[in-house]
Chain A
Amino acid sequence: MKALEVHNISKMFPGNLANDNISFSVEKGEIFAIVGENGAGKSTLMNIIYGIYTPTAGEIYVNEQKARIRSAEDAIQLHMGMVHQEFMLIPRFTVAQNIVVGDEPRKGIFFDYTRAVREVKELSDKVALTVDATAITGDLPVGVQQRVEILKVLRRGAEILIFDEPTAVLTPEETQELFVTMRKLQSQGKTILFISHKLKEVMDIADRIAVLRRGKVQGIVNKKDTNEEELARMMVGRNVVLEIPKVEASVGPVAFSCHDLRVKNARGMETVRDISFDVRGGEIVGIAGVQGNGQDELVNAMIGFTRPTSGSMELNGKSMRLVTTAELRRQGMSYITEDRARRGLVMPYTVRDNSVMGQHLNAPFSRGLRMNYDKIAEFAEGKVREYDIRPGDVLDTAGSLSGGNQQKLILARELSLPHNFLIASQPTRGLDVGATEFVYRKLLEEKKSGKAILLISLELSEILGLSDRILVMFEGHIVGETTPDKTTEEALGLLMLGVGVDRKVVS
């Protein structure tokens, strides 16, 4: 039986055809993946199926019956449930409150919290997803919060579960746990729609895969008849080089160095301990490590957001002590961040304004108090062409761009600043293959032109493919230094987990 059929769905946003005549059908009990680059229209499609957006044209059938879905309520009635990319949870509420809100156990007009807790416990036992019903949701790890989301949709009797990029916020371990959960749900007869741009994951979990590009279905394939390369080609529309080419560059003088650096985090815990290293022109130094081993604090200290408790840093031979972020940027430091929303861009501002931020006070972009918007627009338009930032209107807000295009915009801005040292902090986080490839190419170009690059990444393939030297961070220390030809993913992975590290060094 077909659990869900989508016929000729189109969705027009002002100036943007997000979904263009999309059709597919999903069998009951199937894990059906929808892949596509950021901005290909996956999330729009899911929001239409779930009733959040109204389609411009097209029909949806649920259990072979024509369905009229005009609100999330309609979708819930039809036993659909959505696990959103950004969790739809209230951090202040308890787990039980979050799971039952909208369909609460009641005594008259009163909310029966005791029963809510009991029901959540029963449900969590029944589907074997463990949560603490009375915990405050905001205090829980991301993977557990996602479990709360899944329980929430299951409690509403969901038979068709839509997962919108569920792994984007998860660690690799949490992702594996999620897949176990998804298979468990499948064995209980649920139908699963899995939205992703990570081909490895899709190949891991899906039964069938639909590929979307620029709002259109490029093809629907069985997992066993395809491979990552073919999917990547369909997604991007051309051959994608997943291999990172080797680029040789002559090593120049030291651009950045730090000695015995110690940094505390916001809670006053010392998370960077006695770190010393340097980065030379024409080389990429990769920092590998499991998230939360001091990488964030190290970057914060380097860009002048926090002051180290001790130790010293030098940029191009000059001490960085008490130097402001703005001054560091003037002295040649650029910074690509994974946190596009809070650090990389001002989301409500236009592409044009974001493109010059940081140099907006320099000629020709402004003169005295007057901004020269013509010049800024001209500059931005040049960058939009050069970096292929879509949809390409410089007056679009940064927030309306897809993640990949936002990252391109950040790259365009940071690489156009006069600089000789680049910090790339998880530069491909949340990006699809096409955009990832673009970032890699840019980083290698930078290296070739003699820039010094510090690459911080959680992706080992990225670290191994790009770096000339690799430093491994564990509990705030650098526990190993190696080069890509002398190590393997496995060896690095063990080091990152502190295996074989002299505990005396670490403690």
Chain B
Amino acid sequence: MTIVQINTTIAQMLDYTTPILFAALCGVLSESSGVVNIGLDGIMRFGAFFGLLGAFMSNTPWIGLLFGIGIGCLVGALHAFITIKWNGDQTVSGTAINVIATGLMTYLLEYVFSTTGYSPQLQNYFGAQEYRIHLLFLEKIPVIGAFSNLSFMIWLGFICTILVHVLLYHTVLGLRIRTCGENPRAATTLGINVFRVRWFAVVAGAALAGIGGAALSISSFSGFSDSMPNGVGFIGLAAMIFGKWTPFGALGAALLFGTGQIAQSIIAVTGIAPKLAPGLTLILPYVLTLAVLAGFVGKSVAPAADGLPYYKEQR
């Protein structure tokens, strides 16, 4: 492979990585506070559709990004309302969000655009040349050169990783979020409002998942497709676990899974693909996810109170 090919492949890999990363960061933030958000795949679907909608209506991807954040917060608030306010089962609420997202987006796609399967394509999206971050001086360097021409969303993913890390490990709020995820009763005895902290973590996390969805429809691709997000949210959850519930761990895991995605294309290029049954390479990233989870899940420890509703007066 030439330098250009290597760099393009890596850039493509980063493109696949970004939505996974956002999903994983959503999980890290939410679960650090003790709320499992299995609905993040559905939230990504919301984000993908509304991101496209915003970008389509305004003809600028920035509005699409805002739409993605907004819808993420809204659906996150629904999850928080059910699981924190009413102590609903977190898995059931998350699954419901996934199911609603599947049906509602298909409906909205037909209702708004009168099409099935695919939305109209965007001219102005983060993947378009004029919206990319150009660092041309890097172009000729192997590997690093991959960073010379990336979508804004990819950089946003890296920035959010750092932000979530700083939030969780270097701010007062972060220490409190983790306290609520480890021992909400202890948090209560210290005068921390567990409900408020969890609300924040769930909604902020869901905003990240919303961005992750938008990253699919207005950055990696230039439109919404009905199959989005194609299980990326669940791969993100796997990345969160593999990354031991830490932001940088999640980044590492997302990069690994992104590589799994790109491996498909590499296999196609090398010419092995025709010898395999059609579609078999498509399951590669998912097989990788399973393999990694089977191998590592035992060694990665979740926050102690993860997934448990909190009743203040429980005896």
Q: A52-B189, A73-B191 are in contact. Are A88 and B183 (CB under 8 A)?
A: yes
Please, could you name 28 A-B residue pairs with CB atoms under 8 Å apart, sorted by A? A52-B189, A53-B313, A88-B183, A88-B186, A89-B183, A89-B186, A90-B178, A90-B179, A90-B186, A90-B304, A91-B182, A91-B304, A92-B182, A93-B179, A101-B175, A101-B176, A101-B192, A102-B176, A102-B179, A102-B190, A102-B191, A103-B190, A109-B171, A109-B172, A110-B171, A111-B170, A111-B171, A400-B315
Known A-B contacts: A92-B182, A93-B178. Give 9 more (CB < 8 A).
Answer: A13-B315, A53-B313, A72-B191, A82-B189, A90-B186, A102-B176, A102-B190, A102-B192, A110-B172
- In the complex, the 5 A-B pairs of residues with the closest C-beta atoms, listed nearest first: A102-B190, A73-B191, A88-B186, A90-B182, A104-B172
Interface residues on A, range: 20 to 34
A76 and B192 CA atoms in complex are apart in Å by 11
Contact residues in A for B179 (Cβ distance below 8 Å) = 90, 93, 101-102
Q: Hey, which chain A residues are within 8 Å of B315, CB to CB? A: 13, 400
State in angstroms the CA–CA spacing of A314 and B192 once bound together.
Answer: 55
Is the beta-carbon distance between A97 and B175 smaller than 8 angstroms?
yes
Least Cβ–Cβ distance between A262 and chain B, in angstroms: 29
For residue A25, give the distance in angstroms from its CB to the closest CB of chain B. Answer: 24
Main secondary structure on A side of the interface with B: loop
Q: Which of B187, B189, B312 has the most CB of A within 10 A?
A: B189
Main secondary structure on chain B at its contact with chain A?
A: helix
Report the bound CA distance from A152 to B179 in whole Å: 14
> Which residue of chain A has the shortest Cβ distance to B301 in the bound complex?
A92
Contact with A along B287-315 (1 / 0, CB 8 A): 00000000000000000100000001101
> Could you tell me which residues of chain A, from 103 to 124, have a CB within 8 Å of some CB in chain B?
103-104, 106, 109-111, 113
Query: Is B188 close to A, CB under 8 A?
Result: yes
The total of Cβ contacts below 8 Å across the A-B interface reads 70
Beta-carbon nearest neighbor of A109 in chain B: B171
Whether B138 is near chain A, meaning CB under 8 Å from some CB there, is no
Contact A104 B175 (CB under 8 A): yes
B180-208 contacts to A, CB under 8 A, are 182-183, 185-192
Contacts of A52 in B (CB 8 A): 188-189, 312-313
Cβ contacts under 8 Å, B173 to chain A: 109
Task: Count chain A CB atoms within 10 A of each CB in B185, B187, B313, B315 and give the residue with the most.
Answer: B315
B94 at the interface (CB under 8 A from A): no
Which residue in chain A gives the minimum CB-CB distance to B167? A109
A73 to B188, CA, bound (A): 8
- Residue numbers in A under 8 Å from B170 (CB-CB): 110-111, 113
Asked whether A84 lies within 8 Å of B189 as measured between CB atoms, the reply is yes
For B189, the chain A residues whose CB sits under 8 A away are 50, 52, 72, 82, 84, 88
